[in-house]
Chains A and B, each alone.
Chain A
Amino acid sequence: MSAVAALWSTSIGKKAVMAVTGIALVGFVILHMAGNLKIYLGPEHFDAYARGLRALGEPILVHGQALWSMRLILLAAVVLHVVAAVQLTQASWAARPVAYTEKEAVAADYAARTMRWGGVIVLLFIVYHLLHFTVGVVGYAPGQFQEASVYRNVVNGFRVWYVSAFYVVAQAALGLHLYHGVWSMFQTLGMNARGNGFYRGLAVVAAVLVVVGNVSIPLAVLGGLVN
């Protein structure tokens, strides 16, 4: 325990916490995207998938136990990720009290330079996304959201074009965050044995898979492919 406390008290240790929680969050985002694609199999399959998530682990676990355990783990990962990011960002902003009059970015790409505010956009999106598809309190006409009819909820939700547009923009922000974040995870944990190109490649694959898979759904709803 003292080793973890010692780690957390250093800047590098906090980054290691961000990398480890990042692995959990990236893993979730990829599985979530893969599960979402079941919408193309039709309402029965998709609603059965949603019910199946609650029944996961039965009969060893009780109904909903696996789902709620995952939710708590993810919540803890998000909290640690954000707290570390805020503390490191504050330290970094304080480290240059007088800004350059002229400063050129020579190597840092757009994704690297937008990690912080891009992360804020992703966080706000997560809050909206939960209120929208999980709780059903935003984006629906009164009585339109039915907890058991997940397929109908997705179709009704994405038929509002500006909600779909917001989802597409948020996915673009998530894609940029993943592009820099996935590569950074390996750099931060010191796992650079295979050379830079390999980890860059992994980051591109993760970002493209997640964005393309997720963005296809609102577009398919608006295009009438999923109805």
Chain B
Amino acid sequence: MNLILKVWRQKGAGSPGRFVSYQATNVSPDMSFLEMLDVVNEGLIARGEAPIAFEHDCREGICGSCGFVINGVPHGPRRGTTVCQLHLRTFEDGDVLTLEPWRARAFPVLKDLVVDRAALDRIIQAGGFISAPTGSAPDANALLIPKDDAERAFDAAACIGCGACVAACPNASAMLFTAAKVSHLGLLPQGQPERWDRARDMVRAMDRELFGSCTNMRECEAACPKEISIAFIARLNRDLVKASFQPRRAAAAAGV
């Protein structure tokens, strides 16, 4: 099959970008979208042109590296799918596809379809962890966790941090990402001691990174390759409001 690609080309972070059209000729419907781009890039390299830069790693939908906007939809038209798991059979022969990087102030474009998502890492650094003494691994079932809690925590933990929620959100908000990260620890006993500090600190970090704010449009949920529910956003809202009426952990320990 043949496709026409209109791809955002941008040399570097500070340079202006523009769309350039490319032909993907004689590609197999069984190829993944990234394999098709590999073929297009081989052609570009053979002609002495710069290949299209895109981020990728595992190519099995679990690492969160890949992702760009295809015809106005992050990760393309298939629900619950990263762009590396999107196959060309999803499209029709002769389709014209517009490929654009995630657009957000917090995600500056580094090159072509590659954006800097370090803002998400800084949200994690603000509280997306538990403080625990390390050492030998604890017994697997030493801490009993109700099955429903474990399931829900895992639903949130499925977040791969790809940034599609931010890309899809009309407000460029990172609420679904932050909600998933706050919730997957907040639902488990190990996450309880730091639960309120975590909600406060991660929301503050999210605001500092200049993401927009949620208006409950549900575009994030539809774009999420892991189909994470906005019920976690409601949970984050609840935790943040409760957290505002709790003393900080350090202050509480000091008896303040």
| Residues in A lying within 8 Å of B, measured CB to CB | 3-4, 6-7, 10-16, 88, 91-108, 112-113, 115, 180, 183-184, 186-192, 196
Set of chain B residues within 8 Å of A115, measured between Cβ atoms: 215
Main secondary structure of the interface of B (DSSP, over half): mixed
Set of chain B residues within 8 Å of A191, measured between Cβ atoms: 234, 238
Set of chain B residues within 8 Å of A113, measured between Cβ atoms: 170, 217
Q: Does B213 lie within 8 Å of A11, measured CB to CB? A: yes
A16 to B222, CA, bound (A): 24
| Residues in B lying within 8 Å of A, measured CB to CB | 19, 69, 71-73, 98, 100, 103-106, 168, 170-173, 200, 203-204, 206-207, 210-219, 221-223, 230-231, 233-241, 244-245
Closest to A105 in B: B219
Closest to A99 in B: B103
A97 to B197, CA, bound (A): 31
Q: Does B217 lie within 8 Å of A10, measured CB to CB? A: no
A104 to B251, CA, bound (A): 47
Known contacts A10-B204, A192-B234, A107 near B241 by CB under 8 Å: no
A98 to B102, CA, bound (A): 10
Main secondary structure of the interface of A (DSSP, over half): helix
When the two chains form the complex, which single residue of A3, A95, A96, A112 contacts B245, counting CB atoms closer than 8 Å? A3
Smallest CB–CB gap between B11 and chain A, Å? 16
Set of chain B residues within 8 Å of A186, measured between Cβ atoms: 234
Please name the 9 residue pairs, one residue from A and one from B, whose CB atoms are nearest each other, closest first.
Answer: A190-B238, A92-B212, A95-B212, A104-B72, A92-B171, A108-B217, A95-B172, A107-B222, A11-B213
When the two chains form the complex, which single residue of B214, B218, B233 contacts A107, counting CB atoms closer than 8 Å? B218
Closest to B233 in A: A187
Set of chain B residues within 8 Å of A4, measured between Cβ atoms: 244
Closest to A98 in B: B103
Q: Does B105 lie within 8 Å of A95, measured CB to CB? A: yes
Known contacts A12-B203, A106-B223, A94 near B100 by CB under 8 Å: no
